[in-house]
Structure formats: C-alpha cells, structure tokens
Amino acid sequence: MSDRTIALVGHCGPDVFMLKTAMQRIAPTSPITVVNDTQSLDAHVEDGAILLVNRVLDGAFANDDGIELIRRVTAGDDAARALLISNLPNAQDEAVSAGASPGFGKSQLYDAETADRLRALL
C-alpha cells in the first residue's frame, strides 16, 4: 500500500472528522486532506489522490452533485480514482456507472469490506 493522499471531497465538518478517523485507521501513513472547492479538487486529481466524494457536495463547487463530479474527474486518459460516500444503493450504482470504484456509506465506515475497498485503491 502506498502513501497516496486521501481527499475527502465535499463533506461537512462533522463528517470530515468521522471520515478522517476511519481513514487513519485503515491507511495510517496516507495523508488525508479536505477538499471543498473546484481548484483544490483539480490539484488533487493531478496529484493522483484517492477521492472520497460526498453524494451531496458541501463547499464551492459548480453544483452539489457528487455523482456528476465523479463523472467529470473519471473521464479521459488521466482518470482519477474516486468512490462515493453514500448509504443509498441506487446512488452507489449510479456512481459506479459514472466511473467510480465501489464506495460505501457512512454506516459502513468500520466494516472490513470498506477497508478492503480503500486499500485496493491505494
């Protein structure tokens, strides 16, 4: 497993704390950063960060649709590695169709499958 950056994209403060805690347990040597605007997102995409994208984005993005953001960043030759954070199965299916790796919901943060999915991307 590499020390690839994990970018928490479009999450509110309480969710950032919860996600950071879980990600530090799963990937203790990976830097974790918070992304709440398009400029920061683009920089992390260029750097090859793993993007953990909220279904409904909080922050300064063109719109608040996390699945549309995934569609944009996973298109093309330099596709980003992204997954959706959502408990809704239909949203997960839509995100995978848009180019994401299988994601997980906040209720699954401490499941072994969640750790395996993240480690597979790292």
Domains and CATH numbers, the chain: 6-121 (3.40.50.2300)
pLDDT of residue 79: 86
pLDDT of residue 24: 95
Distances (CA, A) of 120 to 4, 26, 83, 90: 12, 11, 12, 22
pLDDT in single tens digits along all 122 residues of the chain? 568 999 999 999 999 999 999 999 999 999 999 999 999 999 999 999 999 999 999 999 999 999 999 999 999 777 899 999 999 999 999 999 999 999 999 999 999 999 999 999 88
pLDDT of residue 2: 63
